[in-house]
Amino acid sequence: MNSSQGESGIYLSVVVPAYNEQENLPRLVAEVESALKSAGKAWELVLVNDGSTDDSPSVLRRLLAEHLRLRVLSLKRRSGQTAALEAGLRAARGRFLATLDADLQNDPYDVVRLLPMVEGGECDFVNGWRRRRDDPWLRRLSTRVANAVRNWLTHEDIRDSACALKVFRRECVERVKFFNGMHRFLPTLVRMEGYRVAEVPVSHRARTAGVSKYGVWNRAFRALRDALAVRWMQSRILRYEVEEWRRDDG
């Protein structure tokens, strides 16, 4: 993680990967700015352009000139959501971190609502749960099936691990190794590091611009493959206790 967070004065960093979301970016920045102003904390918004091929780069340059708390990272080529998310998290300077999707289906005000749970020590990591999801029925069904398969293989009880809205302490992800597709398993990976994970219902809105970057079937097959990888990681994780002997211990 960025070693300068202690000197930056940033309390909360919101990290958002974005690919071909030119129509949504201005409203996204405005909504995040409005929500975080209400929190009364020092904050930054880290938008990560994942090699967009639409007009997103020029939109982001304009927004960067207009919004002082906005930072923009740009991947040289499209590398996927996990890579964009990791790049943003590693560059973030905040004591607390939050993640959102760029498609406006998450409500930034939920970040402000969930932050006190982490600040107050109730848990280390809060995962959003889209209990009333505003998506087509086939996409909702595929997500439900994918979550069931993930939980069965990883012995988890996460209702909505693919929800992008998450709020957590920065140390939760300092030792997490990100592989392609692992953004969907972040609650499980954080638990593997010994941190406490909670799941809370959050708002979910219909997409009004742009198109989804995931199909139903490719998401299902990737979920199965990635769940098998995480199950292997769980079975091979190192767990031990160590003590150092002193010369005067007898």
- What integer pLDDT is reported at residue 44 of this predicted model? 97
- What integer pLDDT is reported at residue 221 of this predicted model? 64
- What integer pLDDT is reported at residue 73 of this predicted model? 97
Alpha helices in the chain (DSSP H): 5-8, 25-39, 56-66, 81-91, 109-119, 137-154, 186-192, 216-236
- What integer pLDDT is reported at residue 102 of this predicted model? 95
- What integer pLDDT is reported at residue 4 of this predicted model? 46
For the chain, domain boundaries: 5-236
| Ranges of the chain with pLDDT below 70 | 1-7, 132-157, 159, 207, 210-225, 227-232, 234, 236, 238, 240, 249-250
* Contacts with 129 (C-beta within 8 Å, 6 or more apart), sequence order: 159, 160, 163, 199, 200, 201, 202
CA distance 71 to 242: 42
- What integer pLDDT is reported at residue 177 of this predicted model? 82
- What integer pLDDT is reported at residue 6 of this predicted model? 46
User: What is the per-residue pLDDT across 138-193, written as a single tens digit (0 to 9) for each?
Assistant: 565 556 666 666 655 656 667 677 789 999 999 999 988 887 777 788 888 898 88
Q: What is the CATH number of domain 5-236?
A: 3.90.550.10
- What integer pLDDT is reported at residue 240 of this predicted model? 66
Q: In what order do the strands lie in the sheet with 166-169?
A: 70-74, 43-49, 12-18, 96-99, 166-169, 125-129, 197-201
Cβ–Cβ under 8 Å, residues 166 and 128: yes
Amino acid at 166: K
Q: For residue 16, what are the β-bridge partners?
A: 47
- What integer pLDDT is reported at residue 196 of this predicted model? 94
- What integer pLDDT is reported at residue 242 of this predicted model? 82
Tally of CB atoms within 10 A around 69: 16
Max Cα-Cα span within the chain: 71
Alpha helices in 101-204 (DSSP H): 109-119, 137-154, 186-192
